[in-house]
Amino acid sequence: MPSTEPTVTRPLRRSFVKGLLGSTSFWMVGGHAHWAEALAEESKQSYHPSFFTSDEYRLLESATERLFPQDQHGPGARALGVAEFIDRQMETPYAQGDNWYMSAPFVQGPANLGYQLPFVPRDLYRKGLQGLEAYTRQQHGKSFPDLPVAEQEAILTALEGGSLSLGDVPGRVFFEQLRTNTLEGVFSDPLYGGNKGLGGWLMLGFPGARADFMDWVNQDGAAYPFGPVSISGETA
């Protein structure tokens, strides 16, 4: 499992969007509010999860949206199809732990020994989402997606800080997995289900899988004028 140091989500987002305001790519997403709404509607209508249940998928959409929310800079995780990306990942060898050593004993040791739990990513998600749902219903009387944004963020903050556990799954471990996969879904090639409309790349000013940059190699400081293109040839 990836091991990353979690950071506060909104400052994280601002940190990589901060430099875009004067770039060509930022102004290509003018009217982004309508664009984000259209992406979200398209995603909602066209995808049915294959691994997660409908309730788990709804929770996943809400949690990832809080980690990468829509704001004045562009669309959030829901519009970008992050939950779809994660659902598709659950059917891959990665999520099934095919290249992991998963034999007992499972003893939680010091951090430098890395991940020691008996759960591959798909099991971690299933147990984590079920634990999160049970916690919110017990403590708040509602499912996570039905809570006010402030309460959702407080719960995610508790997970990040390690003060909340989800049954057998440590809250911080689940948070790191969710945060890592959320960012992967935002910025990966749309081939994998996320980054709808190349919205993540537009916010970064990333040109994508263009085959030729030779005309721009020696133009130091010049703004690159073309939008991103995906592996499949989709353009923004």
The confidence score (pLDDT) of residue 38 equals: 57
Q: What does the alpha-carbon distance between residue 85 and residue 210 come to, in Å, rounded to a whole number? A: 22
From 182, 185, 227, select the one nearest 204 (Cα to Cα): 227
The confidence score (pLDDT) of residue 51 equals: 97
Tokens of 173: 């471990």
Residue 173 exposed, middle or buried by CB count within 10 Å (0-12, 13-18, 19+): buried
Tokens of 29: 């997403």
Residue 42 lies in a domain: yes
Number of domains in the chain: 1
Coarse DSSP helix, strand, coil percentages of the chain, rounded to the nearest 5 percent: 55, 5, 45
Residue 224 lies in a domain: no
Residue 233 lies in a domain: no
Tokens of 155: 């719960």
Q: Domain residues for 157?
A: 9-98+114-210
Residue with tokens 């091991």: 3
The confidence score (pLDDT) of residue 18 equals: 42
Tokens of 233: 């040839």
Q: What does the alpha-carbon distance between residue 27 and residue 205 come to, in Å, rounded to a whole number? A: 10
Residue 230 lies in a domain: no
Residue 236 lies in a domain: no
The residue length of the chain stands at 236
Residue 217 lies in a domain: no
From 82, 75, 90, select the one nearest 124 (Cα to Cα): 90
Note the pTM of the prediction, 2 decimals. 0.79
Task: Please list the pLDDT of the chain residue by residue as tens digits (236 residues).
Answer: 444 443 333 444 444 444 443 333 333 444 445 545 555 555 556 789 999 999 999 999 999 999 999 999 899 999 999 999 999 999 999 999 988 777 777 777 777 777 778 899 999 999 999 999 999 999 999 999 999 999 999 999 999 999 999 999 999 999 999 999 999 999 999 999 999 999 999 999 999 998 888 888 898 888 888 999 999 999 98
Residue 197 lies in a domain: yes
Residue 74 lies in a domain: yes
C-beta of residue 86 within 8 angstroms of C-beta of residue 60: yes
Question: What are the backbone dihedrals phi and psi of residue 88, each rounded to the nearest 5 degrees, phi first?
Answer: -65, -35
